[in-house]
Amino acid sequence: MRSGNLGYPRIGKDREWKKALESYWAGKLGEQDFHTELKAIRLRNLKAQQERGIDVIPVGDFTYYDHVLDTAAMFGLVPERFHYEGGYPNLTVYYAMARGSREATACEMTKWFNTNYHYIVPELGEIEPKLTRNRPLDAFREAKSELGIEGRPVLVGLYTFLKLSKGYTPEQLAPWIDRLLPLYGQVLRELEAEGVPWVQIDEPILATTLAAEDLTHVARIYERLTKEAPGIKLQLQTYFEAVDHYEAVVSLPVHGIGLDFVHDGGRNLQAVSKHGFPEDKVLGVGLIDGRGIWKAELQSKLDLLQTIGEAVSADRILVQPSNSLLHVPVSAAQESGLEPTLREALAFAEEKLEELVLLTKAGQSGAGAIASELAVSKRSREALQQSPSRARKHVGQRIADLASQPSSRSGHADVRREAQQQRWNLPLLPTTTIGSFPQTPEIRSARLKWRKGEWSDSQYEAFIKEQIKLWIDVQSELGLDVFVHGEFERNDMVEFFGEKLDGFAFTANGWVQSYGSRCVKPPIIYGDVEFTSPMTVAETVYAQSLTEAPVKGMLTGPITILNWSFVRDDKPREEVAYQIALSLRDEVEALEAAGIGMIQVDEPAMREGLPLKREQWSHYLDWAVRAFRLSTSTVKDETQIHTHMCYCEFHDIIDSIRAMDADVISIETSRSHGELIGSFEEHTYDKGIGLGVYDIHSPRVSTVEEIGSMIDRALRVLSPEQFWINPDCGLKTRKYEETVASLRNMVLATEQAREKYAVKP
Instruction: Give me the pLDDT at residue 717, please.
Output: 84
Domains of the chain, by residue range, sit at 418-757
- Of 598, 584, 707, 578, nearest in space to 643 by CA: 598
Q: What is the DSSP letter of 679?
A: G
323 sits in the region (left: phi over 0; alpha: psi -120 to 50; else beta) called beta
Is the CB of residue 687 less than 8 Å from the CB of residue 663? Answer: yes
- Whole-Å CA distances, 307 to 103, 269, 739: 58, 9, 57
Where does 432-567 show beta strands of DSSP type E?
A: 501-505, 512-515, 518-520, 524-531, 552-556, 566-567
Sign of the CA dihedral 213, 219, 224, 229?
positive
- Whole-Å CA distances, 639 to 341, 490, 661, 664: 43, 24, 13, 11
Task: List, in sequence order, the alpha helices (H) in 510-644.
Answer: 537-545, 558-563, 573-593, 617-632
Q: With the CA atoms of 701, 704, 709 and 715 taken in that order, what torsion angle do they form, in degrees rounded to the nearest 10?
A: 110
Helix (H, G, I), strand (E, B) or coil at 687: coil
- Of 658, 661, 757, nearest in space to 714 by CA: 757
**Annotated binding-site positions for L-methionine:** 434-436, 487, 602
Instruction: Give me the pLDDT at residue 395, please.
Output: 95
Q: For the domain made up of 418-757, give the CATH fold.
A: TIM Barrel (3.20.20)
Q: What is the CA radius of gyration of the chain?
A: 26
Task: List, in sequence order, the alpha helices (H) in 77-172.
Answer: 91-99, 135-147, 158-163
> Mean pLDDT of residues grouped by 10 in the chain (761 residues)?
98 96 97 98 98 98 98 97 94 96 90 92 94 98 98 98 96 97 98 98 97 96 97 98 96 98 97 96 98 95 96 97 98 94 97 98 94 93 94 94 90 94 95 94 94 95 97 97 96 90 96 94 96 97 98 97 96 97 98 98 89 93 97 97 79 86 86 61 80 84 92 89 92 92 96 84 38
- DSSP string of 239-280, one letter each residue: -SS--SSHHHHHTSSSSEEEEESSSSTTHHHHHHHHH---TT
CA–CA gap between residue 115 and residue 643 (Å, rounded): 21
Residue type, 255: H
**Beta bridge partner(s), residue 519:** 513
- Of 70, 152, 511, 119, nearest in space to 320 by CA: 152
CA–CA gap between residue 630 and residue 407 (Å, rounded): 5
Pairing of strands 566-567, 524-531: parallel
**Annotated binding-site positions for L-homocysteine:** 434-436, 487, 602
- Of 644, 433, 438, 633, nearest in space to 550 by CA: 433
Q: What is the DSSP letter of 120?
A: E
CA–CA gap between residue 271 and residue 249 (Å, rounded): 11
Q: Residues with catalytic annotation?
A: 697
Phi, psi of 633 (to 5 degrees): -90, 0
195-214: b (≥16 Cβ within 10 Å) or e: ebebbbbbbbbbbbebeeeb
Is the CB of residue 677 less than 8 Å from the CB of residue 649? Answer: no
CB-count exposure of residue 482 (10 Å: 0-12, 13-18, 19+): buried
Instruction: Give me the pLDDT at residue 700, please.
Output: 85
- Of 517, 557, 519, nearest in space to 660 by CA: 557
With vertex at residue 647, the alpha carbon angle to CA 113 and CA 486, rounded to the nearest 5 degrees, is 120
Instruction: Give me the pLDDT at residue 681, please.
Output: 66
CA–CA gap between residue 40 and residue 61 (Å, rounded): 15
Is the CB of residue 108 less than 8 Å from the CB of residue 121? Answer: yes
Q: With the CA atoms of 416, 420, 421 and 427 taken in that order, what torsion angle do they form, in degrees rounded to the nearest 10?
A: -120
Is the CB of residue 433 less than 8 Å from the CB of residue 656? Answer: no
